Amino acid sequence: MKRAFLITLISGLTSMSNAQALKAPSFEEVISLQSVSNAVISPDGNHVVFESQSVDWKENRYDRELWLSKNGATPFQLTNNLNHSSNHPKWSPDGQWIAFLSKRGEKTQLQVIRLVGGESFQITNTENNIFDFEWSPDGKKIAFLQSEDKSKEEKKRKEKYGGFAVEDAEYSLNQIWITDFNPSRLNEMPLPEQIKDSVYTRKLKPKLLLDSVNFSVNSFKWSPNGKKLAIEHQPNPLRNTFFKADISIYDIASKSYEILVNNMSYDGLVDWSPDGRSILYQTSLNDSTSNYYLNGKLFRINVDGSDNQQLAKDFDEDLFRLQWNKNGIFALSWQKTVRQMIRIDPKKGNATILSNGLERVWNFSFSKDGKKLAYTGVNDDDLTEVYVGGYPLNVPKPLTQSTRQIQHWLVAKSEVISWESEDGTAIEGVLHKPQNYDPNKKYPLMVIIHGGPTGISTPGATPSYVYPMLQWLNKGALILRPNYRGSAGYGEKFRSLNVKNLGVGDSWDVLSGVKYLEDKGIIDGDKVASMGWSQGGYISAFLTTNSKKFKAISVGAGISNWMTYYVNTDIHPFTRQYLKATPWSDKKVYEKTSPMTNINSASTPTLIQHGEFDKRVPPANAYELFQGLQDVGVDTKLIIYKGFGHGINKPKERLAAMWHNWQWFGKYIWNEKIEIPTK
């Protein structure tokens, strides 16, 4: 009995000691976490290259560089661009070279580096930035995409007429170019600053394919034998023209192309079949009125136009990152808060969910023989790691140790909860708790709403962005991140529930989640806050003017008036699809779903955060809400982040936005006066 008590006592003291050793991280430490992504396995399956992101506080940027693991060994850094990132790695077919994109001079260009090591070589010198590329199957050529060069014409016009632009009528088409790859001549390659005078670049100047065509290329794939290219293209590169994307087959020898798939709406290229006889594509067929929220459809078609058949008909979610190899067609898909690999039978079309022990797989890459894989993935209590495994799927082996960064941190404890919304719809959400959570205590609640609306919130050890989530947890709060109607992972019908009901149904889901926790007796109903970015910012704005439940709200890049939004955004079809109208055809639905409609009822102190050059949700929405709240006497503050679009993607401004939220909610939830430090 005494011995059992002694063991229990020692165990308890050890737990207390371990708890005392854990630290609450600072804002800067959370922002500075290194992350890994885009793992690509070598053709022979022995090596893995991936991207690693770190923070350069001095230059105020996120830096991506390539890392390499050889034969399963500890990864090492492969590239080091002091001023810009290196990304998008792709192995040569023989596995001896890694090509990637990096800006070493004036433009982003193709670089190659040997597997055995050494310096990288720049192998292109084009007038514009290169943004995608593919090795030919024999490794002797690389095809790439860049926009056409109109700099001379634009310069002449500006010299004569000054600066102006015609909306939706001025653009540069994206074009396919091909450059030769000759390893024996790479040593002739000069440094980037010398490359303009190089004999090498004049002799090996890339060649333009498909000159004088009236379309813009989105993506392409070499056929397995290298004799053809499958090309996805649309009339111009403007964002909303994706509805008119088609797929063509280009024949290298004859220098001609034929359209293969041209449905009335979007047709997107995925991959070739391993035998080169078929094309895999995703499509909206003739639907241009609901494809923002309905499932895309998957088809295969022979290159001669025959045997066009739909696959995965009964699979009720969108498919991402599709690949076709001899083992079948593989993809990723959300299944509620889990992201799994999916296998689709190319002949029968049935889809099967696969599992490799990871709760969320972000990307995967097969070796040439289809027997080995590299992944990036994450479990609830970890950070994203790079893994390797085999096929059929087994438990993968980690190559990286990113999670070690947080082994001494006080991080989030996460669980998925569910509740019933006002109209009876079942809603899930992620509830984050502090490490020292006490079920007998009532906590302040911070509601953080994801964007999209087809985004999703998932469990995680270090949730952040511009919201200091770990710091709030460690201060003594709970965090609820609801997957409101419209979220990904719950099927097509669920994603359609906020059509003509934006804001209204979404707010039901948020408020019912708050009530659920309040009824359980674990939150202080008088200390509840809400915030979110983009669609999450819109829902928070809707709650500002339609609810009295919250002590304070933060609206990040949120819509305040759908009419203002509709005439200013760069994605007009989004509004027409969700509201099923224009402002001129159905004014009532725009009023019903706009936060500004009930501005006279607003009483919640509201912080507004917005990027200066946001085209997705233009800043007019922020100014309208700000002025309206001022006019009705509600405490409000508007912060414009200079030089940013729809997201805050630099560390210093992200730090500032964190502090602004910390200060705002500190005042209204904890009654604290917080000064933002200047040192």
Phi-psi region of 362 (alpha: psi -120 to 50; beta: other; left: phi over 0): alpha
Q: Residue 149: which of 135, 130, 136 has the closest Cα?
A: 130
Q: Could you tell me which of 404, 465, 471, 446 has the C-alpha nearest to residue 31?
A: 465
Instruction: Please tell me the predicted confidence (pLDDT) of residue 212.
Output: 83
Report pLDDT digits (tens) over 405-442. 999 999 999 999 999 999 999 999 999 999 999 999 99
pLDDT band for position 192 (cuts 50, 70, 90): low
Residue 324 has pLDDT above 90, yes or no: yes
Let me know whether 387 and 438 are in one domain.
no
- What integer pLDDT is reported at residue 13 of this predicted model? 38
Q: What is the mean pLDDT of residues 226-231?
A: 97
Look up the domain containing 46 and give its range. 34-53+64-81+364-407
Tell me, what DSSP letter sits at residue 23? Answer: B
Band (513; pLDDT cuts 50, 70, 90): very high
Q: Is residue 270 part of a domain?
A: no
- Distance (Å) of CA 196 to CA 148, 322, 387: 19, 39, 41
Do 403 and 430 sit in the same domain of this protein?
no
Mean pLDDT of 261-284: 97
Q: Quick one: which H or E segment has residue 258?
A: strand 256-261
pLDDT band at 119 (very low <50, low <70, confident <90, very high): confident
Residue 8 confidence class, pLDDT cut points 50, 70, 90: very low
Do the beta carbons of residue 206 and residue 126 sit within 8 Å? yes
pLDDT band at 188; cut points 50, 70, 90: low
- 596 and 516 in a common domain: yes
Q: Which amino acid is at 188?
A: E
Instruction: Decide if 153 is inside a domain.
Output: no
Return all residues near 163 (Cβ < 8 A) that are at least 6 apart: none
pLDDT at 582 over 50: yes
Instruction: Examine the fold and report which residue of 407, 436, 468 is the final residue of a domain before the chain moves on.
Output: 407
Q: Is the same domain home to 433 and 531?
A: yes
Instruction: Please say whether the beta carbons of 332 and 321 come within 8 A.
Output: yes
- Residue 254 included in any domain: no
CA atoms within 13 A on the CB side of 481: 24
Residue finishing a domain among 407, 438, 471: 407
Mean of the pLDDT values across residues 33-48? 98
Q: Do 439 and 378 sit in the same domain of this protein?
A: no
Residue pLDDT, tens place only, 628-659: 999 999 999 999 999 999 999 999 999 999 99
What would the two tokens of residue 331 be? 């993809």
Q: Is residue 200 part of a domain?
A: no
Distant-in-sequence, close-in-space partners of 413: CB < 8 Å, separation ≥ 6: 432, 433, 434, 435, 437
Number of Cα atoms under 13 Å in the Cβ half of residue 597: 16
| Residue 199 pLDDT greater than 50, yes or no | no
| CA distances to 20, 461, 600 from 633, in Å | 46, 39, 9
Q: Evaluate whether residue 9 is within a structural domain.
A: no
Q: What is the domain count for the chain?
A: 2
Contacts of 415 (CB under 8 A, 6+ apart): 430, 431, 433, 459
- Angle at CA of residue 381, ends 531 and 489, nearest 5°: 60
Question: Two tokens at 85?
Answer: 């990132």
Q: How many residues does the chain have?
A: 679
Is 609 a domain residue? Answer: yes
CA 299/CA 308 separation, integer angstroms: 7
Angle at 92 between CA 88 and CA 98, to 5 degrees: 45
Q: Are residues 655 and 509 in the same domain?
A: yes
Q: Are residues 377 and 421 in the same domain?
A: no
Please check whether residues 380 and 414 belong to one and the same domain: no
Number of Cβ atoms within 10 Å of the Cβ of 119: 10
pLDDT given for residue 203 in this prediction: 60
Verify that 449 and 369 share a domain, yes or no.
no
Final residue of a domain: which of 342, 374, 407?
407
Same domain assignment for residues 520 and 393: no
- 3 belongs to a structural domain: no
Question: In the predicted model, what is the mean pLDDT of residues 2-13?
Answer: 37
Question: Token pair for residue 169?
Answer: 């009528």
Q: Is residue 438, in this structure, part of any structural domain at all?
A: yes
pTM of the model: 0.92
Mean pLDDT, range 545-557, rounded to an integer: 97
Kindly give the interhelix angle for 535-546 and 620-631, rounded to the nearest 10 degrees. Answer: 20
pLDDT at residue 5, as a whole number: 35
Q: Are 468 and 391 part of one and the same domain?
A: no
Same domain, 553 and 461: yes
For 489: left if phi > 0, alpha if psi spans -120 to 50, otherwise beta; the answer is left
129-163 pLDDT tens trace:
999 999 999 999 999 999 998 888 888 999 899 98
Q: Over the chain, what is the mean pLDDT?
A: 93
CA angle 289, 496, 535 (to 5 degrees): 90
Give the amino acid at 538: Y
- Indicate if the pLDDT at residue 525 is higher than 60: yes
Tokens of 494: 């669920």
The pLDDT tens digits of the residues spanning 237-248 come to 999 999 999 999
Q: What percent of the chain has pLDDT over 70?
A: 94
- Residue 574 pLDDT: 94
